[in-house]
Amino acid sequence: MRKVVLVTGASSGVGRALCQRLLEEDDGLHLCLACRNPGRAEAVRAALLAARPSAQVSTVQVDVSDLRSVLRAARELRRRFQRLDYVYLNAGIMPSPHLNIGAVLSSLFSRKVIHVFSTAEGLLTQDDRVTAHGLQEVFATNVFGHFVLIRELDPLLGRGDSPSQLIWTSSRSARKASFSLEDFQHSRGQEPYSSSKYALDLLSVALNKNFNQRVRPGSGAGGAWCLSLALTVAGLALTVAAEKTQRCFLSRIALRKAETCMGSIVGV
């Protein structure tokens, strides 16, 4: 019987590279691509099947920042499948960052200069937005939407011969310093992405206790987001024309980086 694998945010970056790697490891899977853009999802599905014709690949439309979309997708998945063996909670957003010049200059003379420039800690500020449901957009997308999806898919989890596995795509930029239980949506802060990633790490631990042995939650730091953060620090200092050329080039680097980090995530 084919293992059923659900991957959110599967149309690009880490999600797409993960799907490619999963089918390289086992093309006997049924892989379901959960994506916001149906057209891009179908394009990825076609590419995956072209490389692995014996695989089963399907798609489902979901925008994890929109609770109505999450509930609709969950109903569709419950209708299609009797179980889910693996769920990779990868979809997420990172608001366009702004360079903090003062932090950059002070970091140059800090003992933590290597750490700061490899993680972009404190160097970037981000502007978050509020969704139609009144939630901070980064929190809603990276954390809450996935949490609701998991709860709605509970009837499909742990129904196979072995426990289902939930794997969150975390990040090296997840830091306790950017997270507060008193402001868990990070509405008053300037690092919503880092806060959201730390929140999902905490949530993974809590879910592990809640599900007992029926489901095994975990997380893996893909690394591509950290690369994006670090590159943005340098990119913001370039001219507009240079940035356009850089983005085209760096997008290819990021995809290769995503592909190389999949081994650790697939093995979780």
Of 164, 146, 264, 166, the closest CA to residue 217 belongs to 166
Of 249, 196, 260, 197, the closest CA to residue 224 belongs to 260
For residues 135, 136, 137, 139, the Cα torsion angle rounded to the nearest 10 degrees is -100
Q: Among this protein's residues, is 86 annotated catalytic? A: no
Place of tokens 């940035």: 243
Encoded tokens for 176: 């306790």
Active-site annotation, residues: 193
